[in-house]
Structure 1
Amino acid sequence: MSARLLLFTGKGGVGKTTLAAATSAALAAGGRKALVVSTDPAHSLGDAFGVPLGSAPTEVDAGLHAAQVDPRTLVDGTWRELRGHLRTVLAGAGVDELDAEELTVLPGVEELLALAEVARLTRTGPWDVVVVDCGPTAETLRLLALPEAVAGYLERLFPTHRRVVRGLLAGLAGTAAPVERWDATADALGRLAENLEQLRGLLTADTTAVRLVLTPERVVAAETRRTVTALALQGIRVDGVIANRLVPHPGAGRGPAATWLRTRRAEQDAVLASLDLGPVRTVEHHAREPVGLAALLEVAEALYAGADPLAGSGAAGPLVDVVRVDDEYELRLALRVGDSELELARVGDDLAVTVDGRRRLIALPSLLRRCVVVGAELDDDGVAVRFRPDPDLWMR
């Protein structure tokens, strides 16, 4: 049975590292084998535990290990061989050697290798749960989209039907390079394609979930809503939203300090009420910085209140669902669009959905491929695209 994977992300400075560390500490205290890994370039996971961490898992407590992935080392090792193979492909296509060197510097490769390392640890370690302290939301969204993007790049550069036929690409290139070299390139890029497919499968699996951390501020809340939509477009499940650093209730206290606390807490409560993202767990602001295992366990108790940390506060349903309404069909997309800019377009057998510039092609079920789009509507549950059977195609 594969380990559960929990990814914590949020706008920079909201406390996601502390909450990821606290969650992993609580899981280990409850008897599970937990690993918490930081992929954030600005590593602070070791600071949260108060212990030095490296790229190899370090035991922090019984059943609890932690690590900080060093993508630079991964690039110098794993990526060097693959770049050599990619240069072989480009040279065979007639690309100048210097240009080939530049083209094989793929944007985001460090983040991609960091994610691959998390997948390796999840797959090979003895862990019941792997908790990931991701970078800020913008970086995390780019990170989680990389496997699909790079897979598309690889397929255009070196299609599958050419990789599987031994020696074919060498013959097409017409170069003097040995056939064995081309076959080695095909094998290496084939393994890369398989690894990318496995990464995409891991991110969209039922055992993987994202927890979004925010502070109750309108700008942060707006970014959180956009992140939920962007993750839904990628088919990645969000199983909880955590509001961190709520100011404590002043009770019946008087004076300027109590007045300030009441006013600030009322503003924070209003932001949370407007989120419309289902149940939200909350953590009040502590006077002391939570550093060290004991302090992190206190944070976990405030966060989960004795409940199982693996139990999310809300589970997302499927991104796509099809229902019949009279003589038409509705394709329902579970996207909370809000104030975001939404664009829909039919592209052959796909529906292109673009939200705030993020585009996803959704393959239409075979039933709807024989239909024409007649309209679309927005409601509180998402987007409903209406289809009507095309008489010219319906009986085929």
Structure 2
Amino acid sequence: MGAHLVVGGGDHSDAVTARVVAALGPGTPVVRPPHRAAPADPVVVAIESQLDRILAALDLPAPVVADLIATILPRDLPDLLHLARALARARADGHELVVDVDLEVARLLDVPQRVARAFAAFVPVVARWEVLVAPEGIGALPAPEQPVLTALREGAELLEDLDRALADPTMTSIHLAAPAGPVGAARRADAEVLLALMGRTLTAVHPVGGSGVEHLPSPAPESGPRVERTGEQWLLRIDVPGVRAADLELVRHDDEIVLGCAGRTRRVLLPSVLRRCEVERAGIAGGVLTLTMTPDPAVWPRG
């Protein structure tokens, strides 16, 4: 099973989507969701119903509240959750999924990871509300209702699954059918940068009047971070196709590596074996970022 996403918002998206379906062959079971507005998602409904009350109880400044709402409930969250659920259903049924995604390509590739992290960060606050926010003797703040906690957990799981699918070329093919002109060029640049930070490239790019998909390419045999032991050191290899060393920003933040390029960022969770190591040096060759890491004496167990 694979998902085939046509992104970019060009006028020829329908034609490219039809060609993707045709290229899969007549014997392939295909799910192609109809073009209609996604219904209200239960995760969004549950969080929206109490978010204002929760944030008001925390007595946060108005600008902070506005930023939190924009982070937790972005405008395209219902569409992203709808896509995540469609991917899960198709995977469970063993069907190919073909979707003309009516979202800005940059937001499709960037928002799921960011919102999943925001949901996950809010879970312990809601789960331990009385201990963390309103301990006994401080005051009786209205506790969030249980459906909010369930919605945060479900939303985080759905968006994490969607983010993994978008980053995995064995799970999704991404076809860019952007409009002509500067808008299309900007969307292609965004897509290429964000996908490079995910370790992958576009499956295909379709200009206006192009012939569409003639075949569906095979996915790369290897994807995701790879770990190798060399003597007393560890090597972590992360694919960043097309990114030059001079253009890449790299920061270690707790158990994550934050990659940045052209104003876009991506967080990569370190494999557990490397979380007690320090980054000694980094370099890019052939579209692969290699981090040389050594055990941190301050936290590494000593025999």
TM-score normalised according to structure 1 size: 0.59
Counterpart of 1:387 (choices 289, 293, 301) is: 293
Distance 1:229 1:163 in 2: 35
One-letter amino acid matched to 1:114: D
Q: CA deviation at 1:335?
A: 0.5
Instruction: Determine whether 1:8 maps to 2:17.
Output: no
Q: CA deviation at 1:196?
A: 3.1
- 1:46-195 equivalent positions in 2, closer than 5 A: 67-71=34-38, 74=40, 79-95=44-60, 104=69, 109-124=74-89, 128-135=95-102, 139-156=104-121, 158=122, 160-164=123-127, 171-172=134-135, 174-175=139-140, 177=142, 182-195=145-158
Q: What SS does the corresponding residue of 2:16 show, helix, strand or coil? A: helix
One-letter amino acid matched to 2:95: D
Q: What SS does the corresponding residue of 1:117 show, helix, strand or coil? A: helix
Contact 1:92–1:175 (8 Å) recurs in 2 = no
Distance 1:13 1:142 in 2: 16
Instruction: Determine whether 1:18 maps to 2:28.
Output: no
Q: CA deviation at 1:341?
A: 1.8
Cα–Cα, structure 1 residues 245 and 203, in superposed 2: closer, same or farther, change >3 Å?
Answer: closer
Give structure 1 stretches of 5+ with no counterpart: 38-66, 247-282, 285-298
Instruction: Determine whether 1:350 maps to 2:244.
Output: no
Q: What SS does the corresponding residue of 2:118 show, helix, strand or coil? A: helix
1:344-370 per-position Cα deviation (integer Å, ceiling 9, x unaligned): 223344322211122223233344444
- What is the root-mean-square deviation of aligned Cα atoms in Å? 4.2
One-letter amino acid matched to 2:263: G
Instruction: Determine whether 1:33 maps to 2:9.
Output: no
Contact 1:108–1:143 (8 Å) recurs in 2 = no
Match of 2:234 in 1: 329
Distance 1:382 1:155 in 2: 30
- Structure number with greater Rg is 1
Instruction: Determine whether 1:231 maps to 2:195.
Output: yes
Q: CA deviation at 1:184?
A: 4.0
Cα–Cα, structure 1 residues 218 and 344, in superposed 2: closer, same or farther, change >3 Å?
Answer: same
**Which one has more relative contact order, counting CA pairs under 8 Å at least 6 apart?**
2
Instruction: Determine whether 1:240 maps to 2:240.
Output: no
Q: Structure 1 runs of 4+ off > 6 angstroms?
A: 96-99, 214-223
Instruction: Kindly tell me the number of residue pairs found equivalent between the two proteins.
Output: 296
Q: CA deviation at 1:393?
A: 5.6
Q: What SS does the corresponding residue of 2:203 show, helix, strand or coil? A: strand
Q: CA deviation at 1:321?
A: 1.8
Contact 1:6–1:132 (8 Å) recurs in 2 = yes
Q: CA deviation at 1:109?
A: 3.0
Match of 1:292 in 2: none
One-letter amino acid matched to 1:240: T
Q: What SS does the corresponding residue of 2:293 show, helix, strand or coil? A: strand
One-letter amino acid matched to 1:109: P
One-letter amino acid matched to 1:185: V
Q: What SS does the corresponding residue of 2:83 show, helix, strand or coil? A: helix
Cα–Cα, structure 1 residues 375 and 245, in superposed 2: closer, same or farther, change >3 Å?
Answer: same
Q: CA deviation at 1:328?
A: 4.1
Q: What SS does the corresponding residue of 1:104 show, helix, strand or coil? A: helix
Distance 1:98 1:384 in 2: 40
Distance 2:153 2:225 in 1: 30
Contact 2:117–2:156 (8 Å) recurs in 1 = no
Contact 2:14–2:100 (8 Å) recurs in 1 = yes
Match of 1:253 in 2: none
One-letter amino acid matched to 1:128: H
1:320-354 per-position Cα deviation (integer Å, ceiling 9, x unaligned): 22334566433222112445721122334432221
1:367-393 per-position Cα deviation (integer Å, ceiling 9, x unaligned): 444444332222223222223455666
Contact 2:4–2:99 (8 Å) recurs in 1 = yes
Match of 1:289 in 2: none
Cα–Cα, structure 1 residues 17 and 174, in superposed 2: closer, same or farther, change >3 Å?
Answer: farther
TM-score normalised according to structure 2 size: 0.74
Match of 1:210 in 2: 174
Q: CA deviation at 1:239?
A: 6.9
Q: What SS does the corresponding residue of 1:354 show, helix, strand or coil? A: strand
